[in-house]
Amino acid sequence: MRSIRRTLQNVKCSCCGEERDDSLVASLRADPTVHVCRDCIGGLNERAGGIDVTPTLPVADMADAIRFCESAGFEVHAYDDGFAFVHFNGQSVFDLDLIAGMDPTTNHAGCYIITADADAWHTRLVAAGLPVTAIEDRPWGMREFTLTGPAGSNIRIGSTASPPS
């Protein structure tokens, strides 16, 4: 994991004033000395009228789904036997909902995770032995691949492809 190899460094958020791990902080383009933490970015997004989305993926077997998510590096917080919240790095990504009698072969549910480094995700998920497609630059401007869950949901993971220079 990247966070083990590099030296952890705390950066003071210019918005809330808290010391944060530098992996959770971004600097302003116009002034790189101004740092804003992820919590504050979320708050600023809401204040600017932005929304946040958490899809719900149906599952046929909750224990199986939780094992799969944990092996993919997600944190799972079970709400009860039939519902769970799935996070990555402390941020909500999707929920799991146990649907009695669902058929994984006809499940067309999915979601899209946009990250700054889809290649690192791909490497990590391949190393975990999970079912992923090859990573490819797609005509819609994303570099992406698909991870398929045990109930047949397709979790696409991509980064904005670098513009040709």
Contacts with Zn ion by CB under 5 A lie at 13, 15-16, 37, 40
b/e code 85-98 from CB counts within 10 Å (16+ = b): bbebeeeebbbbbb
Minimum separation from the CB atom of position 36 to Zn ion (A) = 6
Minimum separation from the CB atom of position 14 to Zn ion (A) = 8
Tokens for 103, please give them.
Answer: 């058929």
Minimum separation from the CB atom of position 60 to Zn ion (A) = 40
DSSP 162: P
Q: At 139, phi and psi to the nearest 5?
A: -65, -15
Query: Closer to Zn ion at the Cβ: 12 or 138?
Result: 12
Radius of gyration for the alpha carbons in the chain, expressed in angstroms and rounded: 18
Minimum separation from the CB atom of position 47 to Zn ion (A) = 13
CA 23 – CA 71 distance, rounded (Å): 22
